[in-house]
Every structure is written in structure tokens, then in C-alpha cells.
């Protein structure tokens, strides 16, 4: 692969900074790197491969001469600037929800649907972090036993809401332990020592169906990535006071018979998956285990005796890494 001129949009955010780490660790062939963010971050210094780079303000002419754009600066920014970048010849890998369900934009997880990349028109969508962890594990099982139904409950870390959310959780935890009042700005309810629906500040994130935006994303993204509209997905998404990594309790119902041992065997040879499943030794996926790792961890694989061909799974993945930056860089590598 020849060296590429790369631009990171949203470079100062949690995912933007993870982009820098992943590009460096995977030795991505960067010819030159431009870092962009909003006007308030202009001039901020970030390190890459021993050099100090200054953050520039994102503008329409940012993409001249750039070949790959890694975007993570919010849906509104992506809606405005991704088409501008694509017209300038810069292929965009977008980490926001702006383009995920656009029928003209491929939604890609390299281990699951790499052929979808062939249909891109300059913009490629990176899926939701919870969806990525789910489909990397489900696809190998789907190929062998044909999954008909998925019931998933997510336990999503605060880092999924950004760097400020991490700070808010830490500071609120200190306040609660000290018996002090705390004025929050990111979460609608106390997140310290608490579990809340995975929502933003506005009640409009709940749909008329009662599902949240996050839950709706998981339903439709799973079908699109797995390329099977027949799969039924029933999600409940929960925000928990964990700093990093999303965990998921998953129940699947298959069309064909499958045992827990057979599922383990399939998953042990699946790309991007690491099986950790020996409860007798207290070995199973943990958020602390998956943090900073590339793989999607799966364990507690067991039969569900209440339905025909049913399985229970516990999945954990790093939402900032595989759930965002790593998946985007893998897409760029495939390009």
C-alpha cells in the first residue's frame, strides 16, 4: 500500500486521539497527516510518530490533496463536510450516525461484510460501537446456524458519550462519595453508581415505539451489516458507570441446531474474536480485560433451554478502539 495523505476530523476528541494511536501502532502508511477540529481547538498540539502537529480549523478547503478522511466530529459536521471531502477526492470513513442508514453508503465491519466496500461513492460509514461488537461475534454463528432472533442488552461505558462524559462521571463520583451536590451537563440523570437508559439530554431520543435512538440504530445496523433483513433484533441499551468498554448480554435463536461447544469451536477460529470461557477458573470477558485490545471478547457461552436452538453469550469490546477508531482504520487499510 502506497503512503496516503490523511486527515482526521475531530482530532481532539476521544476517538480522534485514538485514531492517532491506532494509525501509529498499526504502522499505517501515512505520507502526511492533517488534524482538524472546531475553531476552539485551533492551535492545540498533538503528537504523532514523534512529531508535534498543530490542529487546524475545519474548512471547506481542508480536503485538497487529502486521500483518506477519518471523521469523528458529530453528525452535523459529517453531513456538511463529508460530501465536500468526497468531491475533493478524499474517501471519508465516518464514525458518526450521519450516513449509516443511507442506502447509497456502505456500513462496514471488515470481519463481517468487507465486500460492501466495493460499492462506496466516496463515503463509508463506521457502525455504532455496540453494533460492531455484536456483529463480529454473531456473523460466524450466523454463517453456520442461521440466526433468526437476537435479544441484546448493552452495558455501555461513559466514554461512549465522549471525553467530557468521562470527566463528568469521575467528578460526580467524587461528589457523591463526599456528600456534595453536583451539577451535571452530559447525562440527564446521575451516572455515578447508577444505570440509566443510553440516551442524551433530550427526551426526543425516545421514539414513539418506546425504543431509544441507540436501540433503533442497533436494530437496523445489524440487519444492514449482516445483509439479512430477516434477523429480528430486540435491544435494550443501558449506560453504566464504567470508564471504557461496552458489555453485552446476548440471547440468540438459530434456525439450525447448535451446541455451546460447537459455538465455541466456531468462534475460536473467527477473525477479530477472542473466546474467554472457563467459569471454573473465573475466566470470562471483562471490561478491564478488553480495554485497549483489538478483539471482541466472548464468553459465558451456554444453551438456552427455553427455546429451540437458543444460545446465551456475553460479549465485551473496547468501544473507543474496535467500536470506533480501529474499525475505521481497518476500513482505510482495505481501501
Active site residues: 129, 246
Q: Are 95 and 126 in contact (CB under 8 A)?
A: yes
| Residue positions counted in the chain | 335
Task: Give the burial class of 13: count Cβ atoms within 10 A of its Cβ; 0-12 exposed, 13-18 middle, 19 or more buried.
Answer: buried
Q: Residue 155 forms beta bridges with which residues? A: 238, 247
Q: Residue 33 forms beta bridges with which residues? A: 6
- Residue 300 C-alpha from the chain's centroid: 22
Q: Are 155 and 317 in contact (CB under 8 A)?
A: no
Per-residue exposure over 100-114, b if at least 16 CB sit within 10 Å of its own CB, e if not: beeeebbbbbbbbbe
Dist. CA 16–CA 243, nearest whole Å: 17
Q: Are 211 and 169 in contact (CB under 8 A)?
A: no
Amino acid at each position: 500500500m502506497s503512503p496516503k495523505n490523511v486527515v482526521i476530523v475531530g482530532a481532539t476528541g476521544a476517538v480522534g486521539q485514538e485514531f492517532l494511536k491506532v494509525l501509529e501502532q498499526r504502522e499505517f502508511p501515512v505520507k502526511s497527516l492533517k488534524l482538524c477540529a472546531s475553531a476552539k481547538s485551533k492551535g492545540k498540539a498533538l503528537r504523532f510518530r514523534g512529531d508535534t502537529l498543530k490542529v487546524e480549523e475545519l474548512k471547506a478547503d481542508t480536503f485538497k490533496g487529502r486521500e483518506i478522511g477519518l471523521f469523528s466530529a458529530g453528525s452535523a459536521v459529517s453531513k456538511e463536510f463529508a460530501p465536500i471531502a468526497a468531491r475533493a477526492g478524499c474517501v471519508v470513513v465516518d464514525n458518526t450516525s450521519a450516513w449509516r442508514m443511507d442506502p447509497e453508503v456502505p456500513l462496514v465491519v471488515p470481519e463481517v461484510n468487507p465486500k460492501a466496500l466495493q460499492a462506496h461513492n466516496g463515503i463509508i460509514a463506521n457502525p455504532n460501537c455496540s453494533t460492531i461488537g455484536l456483529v463480529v461475534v454473531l456473523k460466524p454463528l450466523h454463517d453456520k446456524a442461521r440466526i433468526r432472533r437476537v435479544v441484546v442488552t448493552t452495558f455501555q461505558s461513559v466514554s461512549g458519550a465522549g471525553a467530557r462524559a468521562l470527566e463528568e462521571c469521575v467528578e460526580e463520583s467524587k461528589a457523591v462519595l463526599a456528600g456534595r451536590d453536583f451539577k451535571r451537563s452530559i447525562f440527564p440523570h446521575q451516572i455515578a453508581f447508577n444505570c440509566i437508559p443510553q440516551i442524551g439530554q433530550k427526551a426526543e431520543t425516545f421514539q414513539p415505539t418506546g425504543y431509544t435512538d441507540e436501540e433503533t440504530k442497533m436494530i437496523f445496523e445489524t440487519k444492514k451489516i449482516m445483509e439479512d433483513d430477516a434477523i429480528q433484533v430486540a435491544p435494550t441499551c443501558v449506560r453504566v458507570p464504567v470508564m471504557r468498554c461496552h458489555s453485552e448480554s446476548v440471547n440468540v435463536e438459530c434456525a439450525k441446531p447448535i451446541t455451546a461447544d460447537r459455538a465455541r469451536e466456531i468462534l475460536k477460529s473467527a477473525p477479530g474474536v477472542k473466546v474467554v470461557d472457563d467459569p471454573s477458573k473465573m475466566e470470562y470477558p471483562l471490561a478491564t480485560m478488553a480495554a485497549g485490545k483489538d478483539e471482541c471478547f466472548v464468553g459465558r457461552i451456554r444453551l438456552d433451554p427455553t427455546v429451540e436452538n437458543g444460545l446465551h453469550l456475553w460479549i465485551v469490546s473496547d468501544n473507543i478502539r474496535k467500536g470506533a477508531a480501529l474499525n475505521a482504520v481497518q476500513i482505510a487499510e482495505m481501501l
